[in-house]
A = this chain, B = another copy of it.
Amino acid sequence: MSYSIVTVSRQFGSGGRSIAHGVADRLGWEYYDKAIIDDVAMETGFSKEFIAAKGEEAPGKTVFSYGFETQGVPGVMNGMTTHDYLWSVQRKIIKDIAESGKKCVIVGRSADYILREMDGVLNVYISADMDFRINRVLTKYGDSEIKIEKRLSDKDKKRAANHKHFTDLQWGFAPNYDLCLSSSQLGIERCIDIICKIVEEG
């Protein structure tokens, strides 16, 4: 198998984003994450902040709470909710990147599902144990009023619900990925090594 894309799904605080960055750096490939959000923002006119906050969270029961209107109907655009519309735009951008033949690492955004029909895609999932994640999130983002365990579990639930909503697949279920690694058990550097070796060996 000649790989040209690595998708990385990850638990919040697992270091999945750092691993994805490390893989892209080592392979000399493009890295997509916030860059996708920026592209979406430019194409849709949605504010970057809105997309950064909503891009990977679960669709709410209503979109009224998002607090903006499009085409006169609160939270509905072309008959879709804003969340569904955002998904469709992200999906298009990810497909365009993949079809351009650009070798790249894509973090999150259910890219594994979006590119499921393509050859040469390695789908990776990164998890880590609770202590590792707590330590990493507190070091990286600092403490907040919400208990750290709750922040982690809320984020996991939102990502899982979002993935389920758009793909009907269970987020984090091993058979849905090619490779799942525990960064707390194996270490960030070794996760990068394992992924790069698979890609390089083809």
Contacts and interface: CB of A to CB of B under 8 A. Distances in A.
A182 B173 CA distance: 12
Nearest to A172: B174
A42 interface: no
Interface in A162-195: 172-175, 177-182, 185-186, 190, 194
A171 to B, nearest CB: 9
Contacts of A174: 125, 127, 172-174, 177, 180
A7 interface: no
Nearest to A133: B175
A1 interface: yes
Nearest to A183: B178
25 contacts: A11-B175, A122-B185, A125-B174, A125-B180, A127-B174, A128-B175, A172-B173, A172-B175, A173-B173, A173-B174, A174-B174, A174-B177, A174-B180, A177-B180, A177-B182, A178-B181, A178-B185, A178-B186, A179-B180, A179-B186, A180-B181, A186-B198, A190-B198, A190-B201, A194-B194
